[in-house]
Amino acid sequence: MSAVPIDLWLSSSAQALSLLPIGLMALLGINLGALVLLRLRSPIVTDNPDRRSSASPTADWPSVVVQLPVFNEGLLVRPCLEAIARLDYPIDKLSVQLLDDSDDGSAANNRLHAQQIAEQTGLQIDVIHRVDRAGFKAGALAAGLSHTQAEMAVIFDVDFTPSPDFLQRALPPLLHDPSVGFVQARWAHRNPHSSWLTRAQAALLDAHFRVEQAARYRNGLPIAFNGTCGVWRLSTIAAAGGWQGDTLSEDLDLSMRAQLVGYRGVFLDDLPVTGELLTSARAWQQQQFRWTKGHAQVLRKLGPRLLAAPWPRLSRLAVLLQIAQGLFFPLAALSLLLSLPGVILESPPHGMLAALVSVIGLSGLLGASLFLGLGRRLAGSSWARTVIETFGAMILLGGLLISNSRAALEGLAGRPSAFIRSDKPGARGQTQNRAPRSAAALPVAQTLAGLSILGLFLLEQAWNAPFLATTALGLLAVALPQLQSSLPILTSQRSS
């Protein structure tokens, strides 16, 4: 029997091993397809008991504190405070906390805005300024709760502006059912058509809210709190262990802990709150890094408890797949690395292996496409626009391959990092988040990686072209807009 050539053995072994990450990626994609089916089979129930309340008289409304966590977002503070002051709610039962951790010199102006609006409206607005940022956003929210006796806490990031009837529409589920621990409203977008980046963000967020959150809630599955545009019962926060700053996704962490101790969340698809989409590729990439790492940290922190939760198997599986979505990126990176031997040795997969890899990969791609596409249709996009925006969103996700792979692995490994605020439109303070050299080098690495994938794989591995093309185009689409600002940082720091 003749020996198998070492190069063929290496190539075949790597190709066989690649089935594992490709299969796991397909599982995550199929999960998205399953959410599509769950969403389609559960139309809106117009007489949902969660939307009714026995508290019609104003005397029955609970005391509410509106918490506004702020960090170097000075120009957004006043418009948000003005929107809060317009809330249709008994003023003697409403208070506001401006939780200001700013260190860019905007804190004094923020306090002045709060004082002026309080004097004009009679609304109680307390400014709590911290200088150490302990626990980041979770720490700010926890600090605020230690200064209130309210029954309910409403949380808004300052780039969101609620409608005057927000509280009257969001509170009834909490008043109707004591097992409801929090309510999450749907995000809407003020600037979805500003650029290709905002269009893609809108597609991704609409799929999450209109498909994923709606499907989970309507089918009795645990849902996540999204950090803003929601209401919490303070007794629920206390029962769940309070806000904790040991992950970058304090919102997901608290909502999972609350549901583990017996509370449930309510998602209000028909209550939109308008916010700003990021207009900078760098800011969006920072945000996605934080979200991906935070999810991985929550998976590490709560995974064992979620596996042992007294829930149906479907609920446990759904929650774990939801939290593990960010693992797609390191799995994709691993599958690309395992393809390298076949490229270098000019030995692409053949026959059954190539067909199997293609079928598994396309099944996951189909699930993700249907997920994003349904989100666009539910948002009112035409069929033609749906196809274009879905493709754009998938390309944008491909551009996160390097940064989000690092985020997921750091989160699973328990490596801590600071909560880096994303630069939001109109939020420029006296200082901005300047990219360190490591962050400035990322667009260069992404550009080189994108060009390498195009050059190596699209020529040598046409059988895997859909995945490789979206990844390469995404890396270039995210990196190229950042090169102009990154290269001067790299050259100046090198010369110094």
pLDDT average, residue stretch 446-467: 58
Token pair belonging to 245: 């700053």
Q: Which whole number is the average pLDDT over 231-258?
A: 98
- pLDDT over 50 (residue 430): no
The token duo for 71 is: 């960090």
Annotation says 101 is catalytic: yes
What is the tally of structural domains in the chain?
1
- CATH classification at residue 128: 3.90.550.10
End-to-end alpha carbon distance in the chain: 63
Q: How far is CA 277 from CA 135, 187, 193, in A?
A: 25, 10, 10
pLDDT of 131 reads 87
Whether 92 is in a domain gets the answer: yes
For residues 222-235, give the mean pLDDT. 98
Distance of CA 479 to the CA centre of its chain: 20
Nearest CA among 457, 450, 496 for reference residue 477: 450
Is residue 283 predicted with pLDDT exceeding 90?
yes
> What integer pLDDT is reported at residue 46 of this predicted model?
45
Residue 206 bears catalytic tag:
no
Q: Which token pair is 285?
A: 């990439």
- Determine the length of the chain: 496
Q: Do the domain assignments include residue 70?
A: yes
pLDDT number for residue 490: 46
- The top-scoring range by mean pLDDT among 104-118, 392-406, 412-426 is 104-118
Residue 417 lies in a domain: no
Give 112's contacts (C-beta < 8 A, 6+ positions apart): none
Per-residue confidence band for 1, with pLDDT thresholds at 50, 70 and 90? very low
How much is the average pLDDT of 446-452?
58
* 256 belongs to a structural domain: yes
Residue at 387: amino acid letter: V
Give the Cα separation of 72 and 82 in Å (integer).
Answer: 18
Q: Choose among 139, 96, 239: nearest CA to 180.
A: 239
Q: For residue 238, give the H/E element and its range.
A: helix 234-239
Domain that holds residue 191: 61-281
* pLDDT value of position 200: 94
How far, in Å, CA of 351 to CA of 321, rounded?
32
Given the residues 159, 251, 253, 423, the one annotated as active site? 251
Alpha helices per DSSP H over 41-103: 74-85
Lowest-confidence region among 17-21, 69-73, 177-181, 349-353: 349-353
The pLDDT > 90 percentage for the chain reads 64
Q: Which pLDDT tens digit goes with each residue over 168-220?
A: 999 999 999 999 999 999 999 999 999 999 999 999 999 999 999 999 999 99
Q: Is residue 396 part of a domain?
A: no
* pLDDT of 457 over the 80 cut: no
Q: Which helix (H) or strand (E) holds 152?
A: strand 152-155
pLDDT > 80? residue 3: no
Pick 35 or 47 by higher pLDDT: 35
| Residue 273 belongs to a domain | yes
Burial class (CB in 10 A: 0-12, 13-18, 19+), 194: middle
- What is the pLDDT at residue 431? 46
Q: Can you tell me the distance from the alpha carbon of 186 to that of 208, in angstroms, rounded to the nearest whole number?
A: 10
Q: What is the pLDDT at residue 359? A: 76
Residue 342 neighbours by CB distance under 10 Å:
20
How far, in Å, are 148, 222, 296, 394 from residue 320 at the CA level? 34, 10, 11, 22
Contact assessment for residue 213 and residue 322, using Cβ atoms and an 8 Å cutoff? no
As a whole-number percent, the residues of the chain with pLDDT over 70 amount to 79
Of the pLDDT bands very low, low, confident and very high (cuts 50, 70, 90), residue 12 is: low
Predicted local confidence at residue 145, as pLDDT: 98
DSSP for residue 71: S
Which of 100, 101, 157, 253 is an active site residue? 101
Would residue 178 count as lying in a domain?
yes
- Token duo for residue 61: 């409304």
Residue, of 223 and 419, whose pLDDT is higher = 223
491, pLDDT greater than 60: no
Give the β-pairing of 230-233 and 180-189: antiparallel
Per-residue confidence band for 54, with pLDDT thresholds at 50, 70 and 90: very low
- Can you tell me whether residue 390 is helix, strand or coil? helix
Is residue 432 domain-resident?
no
